[in-house]
Structure 1
């Protein structure tokens, strides 16, 4: 389940996600004294833990870094309007995925079922105990996915689905627009070229590279309740609008660790491995493309990519850029 909650948390900070109003509560108000102490320790001395809009200057180069959240929220239109002049006057917009990558992904999922499915061999029903599968099948059914279809999905992909409360699945089916889509539309209307920072299948490659048995082992850790997942959603959205992106993953670590019957050391190894794949490696791969840009560039990516030792802000600071926080 750690895999599911972490992937879901990241997904909310990644493209192509829309979220309805779920009935969750902010978990920050319910932390125990021990959890608060753990969170404080994780946050201590973290570089650039907050701020959703920064400017990096170096020579004649100006880079706006905007942390986004890919959910539909009534507060986002005002944010997009405030950022529109920045996008409209920029020489380039760099994002995680443009409409081109979205179409490539749709085509690939239609023609390359192995991206998300177990194309051959045993299904998940055959790969885990019956009681474990029964729990997962029920959770899949709650999200409108027939168990026979869920059984044929790659474990990491089913983890992603089961990490979303049903209200999120409903919202995804009904559409909705996060900040990324709004900024891409502004760029299109003003002739600002938009380019993706990575190929469309990057996340699929990263998530699917672990051996099948390891993916199944993570999947078998169990499922969280719908209310727990809605609380995680509400907490993440609240952190984003408080511009506390640096605390998103530490809080996720502290809370979900307490929900699992797993040794702390083992949990942390799994959590760190996922962070390495989905944040650390991708940030490192993006950096050369960001620093090679000319003139005024806007980089609009999930807010989780900004802060921390391996975040884009600290990487740019280490490369000699002067950073200045902006209003958001």
Structure 2
């Protein structure tokens, strides 16, 4: 998919590259997105009013339009260590087996269903690990976020408009208006915060406002209801701080690109990532985002995202999970983006002395 970086890119490739894909993924890689309902104060929707999510798989279309370009991307994905599964068995001699599930932080019923083997393992587990155990109480989590306005809002009277060209300001105003938001009202919010308002299709927002839990949240709440031990690997503030640590200008560019993508384009990007997840093809996600990043500063921004939002947090998760997994009979659920790669959670757990094998 290096064709994405050529001057003669296909229209499909342009849609991926112009989607702010790495920044959108940064939001989806973090639990913070789950508090959208609390922070926007949206009125709950009725279940019967919920729209159905639709969208096209951009990679399927890309394969049809440029088989050679797709083959290059496919080869990179196939070479990604541990990139062919979302469910793993974690073992250490003398201890009961534990389990690791890669998740998506969405309420898509296809995702919530989980593989049958994962459902069985979850039922039997005594301890459940998620990225943040704060996700069980949205109001407390929202209050924790608001207690750190420095992570959410620009200081010293600054606004996001201070970083925008006239053209990008117009795009952002138009895009936010289409989502029922005013740039004047939300302009002091950090770009990652604004992105959490625009990085989901309407169907996903409607399910959240109706009270639907995303997969990690559902697992955490069920664990408490069933008397299991619930453990978190990160605090919400740690997660938000990771986003806030990213350079502001590339964040804003990604935000404008995502808003400019339009409703249908957003649906297609989300559906593409969802289908990769559901097929267990997690090794394709990072190469796709890396290829979609434009050269120069865009590539640097993507590299920063990959290091801070994915790799650094992989090490934190694996390190904090190890003493819990040592006891066995644990069900661990973290974002699927954290599983694959030489510094993914799967490989890091192996380096900690566990035998980790894919469950098909």
The normalised TM-score by structure 1 is 0.85
Change (3 A) 1:213 1:50: closer
Q: How does 1:290-309 map to 2 (within 5 A)?
A: 290-293=321-324, 294-309=327-342
Q: How does 1:224-235 map to 2 (within 5 A)?
A: 224-235=261-272
**CA offset at residue 187 of structure 1?**
1.6
Name 2:86's counterpart in structure 1.
52
Change (3 A) 1:77 1:130: closer
**CA offset at residue 219 of structure 1?**
4.8
**CA offset at residue 205 of structure 1?**
0.6
Indicate conservation of the 8 Å contact 1:10/1:304, yes or no: no
Structure 2 spans left out of the alignment, 5+ residues: 1-16, 37-49
Instruction: Determine the C-alpha separation between the residues in 2 that align with 1:296 and 1:51.
Output: 20
Residue 106, structure 1, aligned to residue 142, structure 2: yes
Name 1:162's counterpart in structure 2.
198
Indicate conservation of the 8 Å contact 2:246/2:305, yes or no: no
Residue 83, structure 1, aligned to residue 118, structure 2: yes
Name 2:307's counterpart in structure 1.
276
Name 2:8's counterpart in structure 1.
none
**CA offset at residue 307 of structure 1?**
1.1
Residue 75 of structure 1 aligns to a residue whose secondary structure is helix
Residue 65, structure 1, aligned to residue 100, structure 2: yes
Change (3 A) 1:121 1:235: same
Residue 238, structure 1, aligned to residue 275, structure 2: yes
**CA offset at residue 215 of structure 1?**
4.3
Instruction: Determine the C-alpha separation between the residues in 2 that align with 1:279 and 1:224.
Output: 24
Indicate conservation of the 8 Å contact 2:242/2:309, yes or no: yes
Alpha-carbon deviations, 1:169-203, whole Å to 9, x = none?
A: 44433332222233223322331111110011122
- Point out the more displaced range, 215-224 or 151-160: 215-224
Change (3 A) 1:166 1:130: farther
**CA offset at residue 110 of structure 1?**
3.4
- Point out the more displaced range, 23-32 or 119-128: 119-128
**What is the number of equivalent residue pairs in this alignment?**
321
Change (3 A) 1:142 1:35: farther
Indicate conservation of the 8 Å contact 2:107/2:212, yes or no: yes
- 1:253 counterpart (267, 290, 296): 290
- 1:311 counterpart (341, 344, 355): 344
Residue 87 of structure 1 aligns to a residue whose secondary structure is helix
Indicate conservation of the 8 Å contact 1:20/1:72, yes or no: no
Indicate conservation of the 8 Å contact 2:145/2:236, yes or no: no
Instruction: Determine the C-alpha separation between the residues in 2 that align with 1:131 and 1:316.
Output: 47
Instruction: Determine the C-alpha separation between the residues in 2 that align with 1:20 and 1:247.
Output: 28
Indicate conservation of the 8 Å contact 1:58/1:322, yes or no: yes
Indicate conservation of the 8 Å contact 1:60/1:295, yes or no: no
Residue 136 of structure 1 aligns to a residue whose secondary structure is helix
Residue 33, structure 1, aligned to residue 70, structure 2: no
> Alignment RMSD, CA only?
2.9
Residue 135 of structure 1 aligns to a residue whose secondary structure is helix
Structure 1 spans left out of the alignment, 5+ residues: none
Q: How does 1:111-130 map to 2 (within 5 A)?
A: 111-130=147-166
Name 1:152's counterpart in structure 2.
188
**CA offset at residue 221 of structure 1?**
5.9
Higher share in helix? 2
Indicate conservation of the 8 Å contact 1:155/1:216, yes or no: yes
